[in-house]
Each structure stands twice: as C-alpha cells, then as structure tokens.
A and B are shown apart, each in its own frame.
Chain A
C-alpha cells in the first residue's frame, strides 16, 4: 500500500493505493488517525485500492468512530468496486460516510 496526502484548508484527502490487509493496517492508521485527531475533515480516496479485507474495514470503522468522537468526519470517496463490495458485505454502507 502506498499513500499520498493533500491538504486544502481543513480538508485532508488521503489517496490510498494498492491492497489493504493486516500487514499494512498500522501504516494506514498512522496516516489517517493523526489527521482525524487534528480535527481535519478527512476524505479517503479509495479509487486505487484493489483489495481490502476485514483489517482494512476495521481501519475505516476506527477512523469513522474517532472522527465522531472528536467532532469531525471521514468521507469515503471514489470507492473502488471491490472495496464497495466488501463494505456492503459488512453492511456498513449506512454507517460509514460514502460519497
């Protein structure tokens, strides 16, 4: 997994690329959670994420819940078909902020 962060005003867009599994969840959290804790509105762009498993879904849930806790939001943008399939399998499409 690789990533790229672009910040504009209070919006931080994190472009994730590759496969998100147990091996990279800590790295993903290290990128996303500090932005959330800084109360940025975080946009996770998932168009180049070809695979996400339950560990990746946990990162999305943790980020979303942390955002609610500190009073900001995490929005999922341009979700790839394969990631959307997993989000829907977990019945999280009504829980996470899908754009």
Chain B
C-alpha cells in the first residue's frame, strides 16, 4: 500500500494535537505500522514541536504554516517537515546526554531512537526541510 499525504498546520503549540491526529489517521491505514504507531506519532510530534519551539522561537502570532508530508512506498516511510522559520543548523541539533538528567533536550533523542535516518535537505520555497526515514523491510 503506497501512501502520499501532506497537510499544512499553523505554527503554534495548539497545532501539535492536530499533527498527532493527522499522523494517527495515516498510520491506522496499514497494519505495517501497528506495532510502532505510538513511536512514529511521537517522532512526528517531536519534530513538529521543534519547529514551534526552535524555528519560531520568540515569534508569536505568525501566519506561517508548517507542512508535513508522509509517504510510504516500497516499505520505506518518509516524513518531510517544511517550515519558513529561522534556519536550522544541523550541527547544533543535538540531544543532551541521557545521564545528565535535566528538563529538555529529549525530543531529538526520541526522534533519532525511533527513526532510521534524520537529515536536513533543501526544498524550494521553504527555509528548513527535515526528512525522517524508516525502513520497514526488515519488519515484514
């Protein structure tokens, strides 16, 4: 079953519930995702949260949208995030050390734990384009 769906969301914390509902609806479409649905929803919500929290830090009431595109083909899940916020520097996007217990810094860790690949790419018309990939071949 191939999937290719995209949706725009307002860039604010209230949208995160909508992001999760969008992801859950898609992952409910195929049993391939059933074992890891909660983790995949978490990864998507964390990446969307990073846009709100970091790319739009100190920017409130923006009319910008963030776009999330979920595609699944040949057993590969790709989740694209597009935004026009402050440029992300992949070098600076690191999670905290787990034994340094303090609030914050876990979102990126969760994303990297759940997904196989986390990369920033170029996308015309957008400032940041994050792509999360997970391969389901070994899970068949």
Contacts and interface: CB of A to CB of B under 8 A. Distances in A.
Interface of A: 19, 21-23, 51, 53-55, 57-59, 61-62, 65, 82, 85-86, 89-92, 95
B42 A86 contact: yes
B106 A21 contact: no
Interface string B40-75: 011001100100110000000000000000000000
B49 A21 contact: yes
A19 B109 contact: no
Interface in B1-45: 13-14, 16-17, 20, 38-39, 41-42, 45
11 contacts: A21-B16, A22-B52, A23-B17, A51-B38, A54-B49, A54-B107, A55-B107, A61-B101, A61-B103, A62-B103, A86-B110
B17 A53 contact: no
B119 interface: no
A22 B103 CA distance: 12
B65 to A, nearest CB: 17
B104 interface: yes
Interface string B81-122: 000000000000000001001111111011001000000000
A90 to B, nearest CB: 5
Interface residues of B, number: 25
A22 B98 contact: no
Contact of B13 (A21, A51, A61, A82): A21
A86 B107 CA distance: 11
Contacts of A59: 103
Contact of A53 (B14, B42, B98, B102): B42
A89 B13 contact: no
A21 B17 contact: yes
B16 A58 contact: no
Contacts of B107: 53-55
A19 B102 contact: no
Nearest to A61: B103
B128 to A, nearest CB: 18
A92 B105 CA distance: 14
Best-buried of B20, B104, B106, B109 by chain A (most CB within 10 Å): B106
